[in-house]
Amino acid sequence: MEDGPTYGFDTLQIHAGSRPDPVTGARQTPIYQSTAYVFRDAEHAASLFNLQEVGYIYSRLTNPTVSVLQERIATLEGGVGAVCCSSGHAAQIMALFPLMSPGCNVIASTRLYGGTVTQFSQTIKRFGWSAKFVDFDDLDALKNAIDENTRAVFCEAIANPGGYITDLQAISSISDKAGLPLIVDNTTATPYLCRPIEYGATIVVHSTTKYMTGNGTVTGGCIVDSGKFDWSANQKFPSLSEPEPAYHGLRFHETFGALAFTFHGIAVGLRDLGMTMNPQAAHYTLMGLETLSLRMQRHSDNALKIASWLEEQETVEAVTYAGLKSSPYFDRVKKVCPKGAGGLFTVALKGGYDSCVKFVNALEIFSHVANLGDSRSLVIHTASTTHRQLTVEQQIAAGSAPNVVRISIGIEDPEDLIADLKQALSAAK
């Protein structure tokens, strides 16, 4: 939106980045299904390719529909810019790409989505990078894990699958003192429940596939740049502070200032990695964002009601929802996510693995899928699916022990969901 009044979240989630189409007057952002864009002349083309002018060249780099989504997410997160890409996993690699080089490491929380643990513990080794996994409740362990080759600190605001709340202020204080960027995956919270940049995050990543789109239709990812990190403070981040050979010695931080990370993400990240978000996916996500606050509040309200009910059931060993007064993170919710603890948590069943299988199979309203953040309620046994690649020790550390089921609460009638859970628990005895 144009500079002027300060608008509220509900207004920005509908209007930020969007303007009526100048040719047709269309009010909804069109799907610009175009591979390439016509240059005004040869000079215009040259200036775009040399990063002297901002515009559209080729949809692997920039697309008008995707641009609206980027501006909207950046605005909602309080960042200076954003880069959208093909998935949440793509967003994580693209966030690390300008920061890392062979021999460098990232310090990561043990409480992460299983696919992220695998990506960080296995896949990034092929780039010569490595990850150190630390319990982020142990601040001394985090400090001690940082060494001269560390280039970033990574965590989730609300961790998948257990709904653990990270003390972002404490973590950012440590990363700041070490001169390192803090990358926060805000997928599960969304900027409605938590804005990590306000707690010191440097970069925020999202799987827009989840709550932002909210309807289980498309995959997507986003990297939001806070614009607050000094990439030239030392020599740890040469991709941003030193001359870039592909652009005739241009220095991204010197040239683009607060937007250095964002421009690098487009001009180098998307150019060379090619993890592009397609315009139709951007369109679906834009439509989902228009109701983000309404859905997230309903997700949170439903989750609290249902988690409270589950906690009282005799066949349930434990419920991890941070919004419960029994949770060790209850007080942290008030500070980090004051509007609610989200819609994701896990349930441990006393009957162990076998009971989990019977429970999942007996559910009727809940969909058994490898996804979360849908308007529909979802369920999965994470130890045998999303966290299957991990060791038992890693599964337990991530909150995915064999007797645990992950539940993503939707926006249905909570009484109907409770009735479904009740009959499934009975079948699982």
Q: For residue 277, is pLDDT > 70?
A: yes
Stretch 290-297: mean pLDDT: 98
Amino acid 186: pLDDT: 98
Amino acid 290: pLDDT: 98
Whole-number average pLDDT of the chain: 95
Amino acid 391: pLDDT: 77
Q: For residue 350, is pLDDT > 80?
A: yes
Stretch 307-321: mean pLDDT: 97
Give one DSSP letter per residue of 6-53, joined into a string: PPPHHHHHHHTT----TTT--SSPP----SB---SSHHHHHHHHTTSS
The pLDDT tens digits of the residues spanning 338-348 come to: 999 999 999 99
The pLDDT tens digits of the residues spanning 78-134 come to: 999 999 999 999 999 999 999 999 999 999 999 999 889 999 999 999 999 999 999
Amino acid 383: pLDDT: 81
- Packing angle of the helix pair 64-77, 279-289 (nearest 10 deg): 40
Give, in degrees to the nearest 5, the angle at Cα 404 between 367 and 220.
50
Residue 327 near residue 164, CB atoms below 8 Å: no
Q: For residue 71, is pLDDT > 70?
A: yes
**What does each C-alpha distance from 210 to 16, 54, 285, 333 come to in angstroms?**
20, 30, 10, 21
Q: Give the confidence band of 37 by pLDDT, cuts at 50, 70, 90.
A: very high
Q: For residue 351, is pLDDT > 80?
A: yes
Stretch 373-390: mean pLDDT: 86
Amino acid 279: pLDDT: 98
Cα distance between residue 53 and residue 44, in whole Å: 8
Stretch 242-254: mean pLDDT: 96
**What does each C-alpha distance from 13 to 286, 301, 308 come to in angstroms?**
9, 20, 30
Amino acid 389: pLDDT: 74
Domains of the chain by start residue, with CATH: 9-99+181-288 (3.40.640.10), 292-427 (3.90.1150.10)
Burial of 358 (0-12, 13-18, 19+ CB in 10 A): middle
- What is the percent of the chain with per-residue pLDDT over 90, rounded to a whole number? 91
Amino acid 324: pLDDT: 97
Amino acid 413: pLDDT: 98
Amino acid 419: pLDDT: 98
Amino acid 3: pLDDT: 55
Cα distance between residue 159 and residue 210, in whole Å: 14
Stretch 246-256: mean pLDDT: 96
Residue 402 near residue 411, CB atoms below 8 Å: no
Q: For residue 396, is pLDDT > 90?
A: no
Cα distance between residue 203 and residue 96, in whole Å: 10
Amino acid 390: pLDDT: 76
Q: Give the confidence band of 218 by pLDDT, cuts at 50, 70, 90.
A: very high
Q: Which residue has the tokens 């609206």?
A: 68
Stretch 261-280: mean pLDDT: 97
Q: Give the confidence band of 23 by pLDDT, cuts at 50, 70, 90.
A: confident
